[in-house]
Amino acid sequence: LTLDTRLRQALERDELLLHYQPIVALGSRNIVGVEALVRWNDPDRGLVMPGAFISAAEDTGLIVPLGEWVLEAGCTQLRDWQKQGKADGMTLAVNVSTRQFEGRRLVKSVEQALSRTGLAPECLELEITENVMLIMNDEVRSSLETLRDMGVRLSLDDFGTGYSSLGYLKELPFHTLKIDQSFVSKIPGQSGDRQIVTTILALAKGFELQVIAEGIETQEQYDFLRDHGCEFGQGYLMSRPQAADNLAAMLGQHA
């Protein structure tokens, strides 16, 4: 069977699941949110990571129903944690592929996930890679504006690695920049990456955007980012992505 066929079956047979990585306030180390990351529990191969199937799903368009599953499963989970009193004020970050914008489908998917689960729109943050700039058109632009008007939060993922015009930062309704882990991994040692990180922090301040640093693995990286005004972060230093049960046990604590 082709990967596409197997993946279609996986969706029908409920073989996908989400892991969750905490996002923390660097000042307090309190967990303020989680990023949902999809995995495929293949009966033959065990746990398959998204690197092995997301780009194939993007090529075939299967990413659209897959992305809808992720949205609804993630919103359901955060809503459950809220009902248990474990997740007050927390946000759920979900990665979305640029293909999900086609036909304004993303707007419909988000409306449906929120209305079915009862999650407040302010609790949902959509992570959109910087490469959305490459396909920027009226459909994408108006979808982003509709989502913003609904109260959903928008973040630019992998910031600094791809194509992003600063002009778009001024004009598009993003709330958050996520500093790519490729820059974080070489601070504070590498002066070029140190410059990039401090420049992104200054840029975010100027545009009044929140910043989340990704891929924090050492206490030195953590301290450098916090001391340079980066408010939020995630990475293996605080926690790897976790199964829902493990993550639930961490909620209400420091990561």
**Residue 125 lies near Mn ion (rule: CB under 5 A):** no
Contacting residues for 11 by C-beta, under 8 A, at least 6 apart:
62, 65, 66, 69
Q: From the list ligand G, Na ion, Mn ion, none, which binds 143 (C-beta under 5 to 8 Å, kind-based)?
A: none
Question: From ligand G, Mn ion, Na ion, none, which one binds at residue 217 (CB under 5 to 8 Å depending on kind)?
Answer: ligand G
Work out what residue 202 binds among ligand G, Mn ion, Na ion, none; the CB cut-off runs from 5 to 8 Å by kind: none
Give the CA radius of gyration of the chain.
Answer: 18
Three-state secondary structure string covering 66-89: HHHHHHHHHHHHHHHHHHCCCCCC
Strand partners, 17: 39
Rule CB under 5 A: say whether 157 interacts with Mn ion: yes
- Rounding to the nearest 10 degrees, give the CA dihedral for residues 54, 237, 93, 101: -30
Q: Using CA atoms, how far apart are residues 159 and 174, in angstroms rounded to an integer?
A: 12
According to DSSP, the β-strands at 210-213 and 232-233 are parallel
Q: At 246, which helix (H) or strand (E)?
A: helix 244-250
- For position 24 contacting ligand G by CB under 6 A, the verdict is no
CB of 36 to ligand G, least distance (A): 6
Q: Which of 72, 125, 127, 231 binds Mn ion (CB under 5 A)?
A: 127
The residue among 46 and 85 lying less far from ligand G, judged by its C-beta, is 46
User: Is residue 51 a contact residue for ligand G (CB under 6 A)?
Assistant: yes
Span near ligand G by CB under 6 A; candidates 77-85, 118-126, 212-220, 225-233: 212-220
Query: Which residues lie near ligand G (CB under 6 A)?
Result: 21, 37-38, 49-51, 54, 67, 70, 95-97, 157-158, 181, 214-217, 234-236, 241
Query: Which residues lie near Mn ion (CB under 5 A)?
Result: 95, 127, 157
